[in-house]
Amino acid sequence: MEEVGVLVVSYGSRGAAILDSLLRSGEYAVNAYVADRQRNPFNVKFSKEHIVIPSLDPNEICKFAARYKDKIDFAIAGPEKPIIAGLRDILEKELGIPTICPTKKYAIEKSKVAQRRLFEEVAPEVNPRFKVFDPKDYERLSDVKKQLFKWLDELDNKVAVKPDTPAAGKGVGVWGDHFNTREELYEHFMANFKEGPVIVEEKIEGEESSFQAFCDGKHLVPLPETRDYKRAFNGDRGPNTGGMGSYKSTGFYLPFMNEADWEKEKVIVEKIFNKLKGNGSNPELRGIPFYVAFIHTASGPMILENNSRPGDPEIMNILPVLKDDFVEVCFRMIEGSLTRVEVEKKATVVTYKVPPSYGGYEKFFPENVKRDEIGTPIILEKAESFASKYGDRLRIYPGSMELREDGRAYALRSRTVCTVGIGDDIQEAREISLEGLEAIEGGALWYRTDIASKEHISKSIRHMEELRKTR
Ligand code: GLY
């Protein structure tokens, strides 16, 4: 088998899933050089070289890559921070390593304001009504408050407040979820406004889905739609998280969508792609430049936001069931010849276990936390032993987990570990994922039990039926 060297820039379970997909290549023997946030046990075990760069600073990653420059054929990045900071620009300019992620210019995730303006130009029908409040435009805070409240009058308070840059200030806040009074909303708004521009947009009601597509700069290759579970607790309650789990059906769209929704999504993203690509090709868009959170409303899909990277957990619903060799897919993205990929007609369900501090769990449910287990090692052996029962239909990807000197792995602060179940239908995939997850021991970890449940999916279907009736 031909040997290939790949630099993997990793954060969380997504990085482990990318590494796993590369290593499963049937055509290439992959030597992985992993730049990681911490000593992820999976990445440490399966990489040829592993380095911890907690900041994931592109200059530091470039220094690491320079040591193995002649052995690395290409790089691939999962997390947004280094992508937005120009990882690809520096790796390609300094070392000539082709990199799979958009350039800094096309990491449109970096500005929600720029995204909304782009969509307004290309596909206004996907934008909710929005207004940008830019600190540069105001001399007095009293003027901002006046303008904001005037806008709230127009939208009957039903708004989402979003900072321009990812995770600035207090992040996204939604009327009825994060605040119920104008004063609370104003406090949330100001925490963001102190950091930079803020969008206040109409709150849209509907069911969410995640669209992802591989892109080689010439072609857009849509991947099956997935559903992320952003809220911390069962029943979509509690604070927003990075995503507690996700599911994919056996086909390209989700049970609460119809084919027309899926076709519309593809047309919308093509329009955005064509605008950024121009008439020819734009290799700067290579990677997953469009990971779009859609919300399905009475009048069709609208865009909540666009990210310029694979989703976590959403990409874990796709990579394990990609029929094509993932290394070959990467080469075709680099060459500009990726016109299609094949995905198995299987359902997948991802569920995450997380520590008590995550999502505010210990604050909301102190009685559920097994205090004596906090900080104990995370043990994956029992879950891994199910491999004999499920084979490849169960995958276990450590995320915010650190391998320490005692040879054991411990939970850090973010999502600890996920399992991917692969089945002939969503319920089978869910059972496999949950059985694996429940077998993971230690650390007082907890998880949502309703990811991809029949009840949750039926509720989404009913919700969409109700919404469509109001059209
Ligand atoms: N699933 C949310 C994210 O990747 O941003």
Q: How many CB atoms lie within 10 A of CB 368?
A: 11
Mean per-residue pLDDT, 256-278: 97
pLDDT digits (tens, 9 = 90+) for 353-385: 999 999 999 999 999 999 999 999 999 999 999
pLDDT digits (tens, 9 = 90+) for 52-92: 999 999 999 999 999 999 999 999 999 999 999 999 999 99
Contact 397, 417 (CB under 8 A): yes
169 lines ligand 1 (CB under 6 A): no
Q: What torsion, rounded to 10 degrees, do the Cα atoms 81, 56, 331, 69 define? A: 150
> 469 CA distance to ligand 1 centroid (A)?
30
356 lines ligand 1 (CB under 6 A): no
* Antiparallel, parallel or unpaired: β 2-10 and 74-77: parallel
Contact 286, 100 (CB under 8 A): yes
Contact 395, 356 (CB under 8 A): no
242 lines ligand 1 (CB under 6 A): yes
- Whole-number mean pLDDT of the chain? 96
Contact 244, 238 (CB under 8 A): no
Place of tokens 């407040």: 161
399 lines ligand 1 (CB under 6 A): no
> What is the 8-class DSSP label of residue 181?
S
d(CA 389, CA 401): 25
| Domains in the chain, CATH or no CATH each | 2-101 (3.40.50.20), 129-202 (3.30.1490.20), 205-335 (3.30.470.20), 347-457 (3.90.600.10)
pLDDT digits (tens, 9 = 90+) for 300-328: 999 999 999 999 999 999 999 999 999 99
The 3-state DSSP class for residue 79 equals coil
Place of tokens 């709150």: 203
d(CA 292, CA 276): 15
Q: What token pair was written down for 397?
A: 């990807």
12 lines ligand 1 (CB under 6 A): no
> What is the 8-class DSSP label of residue 96?
-
